[in-house]
Homo-oligomer: A and B are copies of this chain.
Amino acid sequence: MNYQPILDRIHAAIKPVLGEGKVASYIPELANVRADQFGMAVVDFAGNTYVAGDAQTRFSIQSISKLFALTLAFQREGDSLWSRVGREPSGNPFNSLVQLEREHGIPRNPFINAGALVITDMLASRFVNAENALVDFMRKLSAVNDIGYNRKVAASERSTSSRNAAMAHFMKSFGNMNNKVGDVLDAYCRHCAIEMNCVELAKSACFLANGGVNPWSGETVIDASSAKRLSALMLTCGTYDAAGDFAFRVGLPAKSGVGGGIVAILPGECGICVWSPALEPSGNSHAGSLALEMFTSITGRSIF
């Protein structure tokens, strides 16, 4: 299918709302990004690539890294992973400690910060260097070799990570953190600081829409059933505390980040990525959410 006219239409329609919302401001590197940028890319399994706007501009993937860190950990740990992290929506702002206390140090899902810290702890146990492992993984998934993380962003995040440190120590008190908290936080912040553009991210997500197979290498990343299951998790938990609303409006499995990116998939068809830095109060890109909503409205294609 030729998605270009649809992307052009979305791009034109989205312009009036660009910049509405708030750019993440807890570190200077994110606060300084121009709010009204917008990019979108759709990539099918044959490699046909459709783009709009700033689709080639790299941005900080932030929590989108949680999707790929989970995949990498799941490759290694299999279903035993679920003894340390749940699969339920959090029903609370994404960094809340309350639920963690009630549920004895088991985070609700791998897409909230606490859950991603547990996943990072798993990677830290499996790899000599957890951040390099994820960067390598992203390079393979996107078939792009110069992907890396921004050291300044990583350092900045690390210096403001008291809340994540609190959660990590808290989970350690429940026996759900095996490595040194400082090491896990280092890796976690570097994962968040990985920089990619819309095309690269849309390509990286294709394996999930393609039965677990990386279309660029032909390699099986995870089996088809697991690919469906991770997609289900994206739908129920991928967009912070607005997952229900997002499923209602958009109807696609997706993972968002406070850098303004949202990765989504249309199972059996394509990987999608939108980016626009200004955020809704939920932490999801405002223009990005609207663009995806238009995409499913215009195409009449969602998973429902």
Contacts and interface: CB of A to CB of B under 8 A. Distances in A.
B163 A169 contact: yes
Given A91-B88, A97-B170, A101-B96, A243 B248 contact: no
A228 interface: yes
29 contacts: A87-B248, A88-B91, A88-B242, A88-B244, A88-B245, A89-B89, A89-B91, A89-B243, A89-B244, A97-B101, A97-B166, A97-B170, A109-B244, A162-B173, A163-B169, A165-B165, A165-B172, A225-B297, A227-B304, A229-B248, A229-B249, A232-B244, A232-B247, A232-B251, A233-B247, A233-B248, A235-B236, A235-B247, A303-B304
A25 B251 CA distance: 37
Contact of A236 (B162, B168, B236): B236
Interface in A196-232: 225, 227-229, 231-232
A294 to B, nearest CB: 13
Contacts of A92: 91
Which are the 10 A-B pairs with shortest beta-carbon distances?
Answer: A91-B91, A162-B173, A166-B170, A89-B89, A88-B244, A166-B169, A165-B169, A163-B173, A228-B304, A232-B247
Contacts of A248: 87, 229, 232-233, 236
Contacts of A236: 89, 235-236, 243-244, 247-248
Contacts of A304: 227-229, 231-232, 235, 253, 267, 303
A161 to B, nearest CB: 8
Interface in A78-129: 86-92, 96-99, 101, 108-109
How many copies of the shown chain assemble into the complex? 4
Nearest to A242: B88
Interface of A: 86-92, 96-99, 101, 108-109, 162-163, 165-170, 172-173, 181, 225, 227-229, 231-233, 235-237, 241-245, 247-249, 251, 253, 267, 297, 302-304
Contacts of A99: 91
A244 B86 contact: yes
A87 B162 contact: no
A232 B86 CA distance: 21
Given A166-B170, A227-B304, A267-B303, 17 more contacts: A88-B89, A88-B241, A89-B236, A91-B91, A91-B99, A97-B166, A97-B170, A98-B98, A162-B169, A162-B173, A165-B166, A165-B181, A166-B169, A232-B304, A235-B235, A236-B244, A303-B303
Nearest to A101: B97
Contact of A87 (B227, B228, B244, B297): B244
A245 B85 CA distance: 12
Contacts of A90: 91
Contacts of A251: 228-229, 232
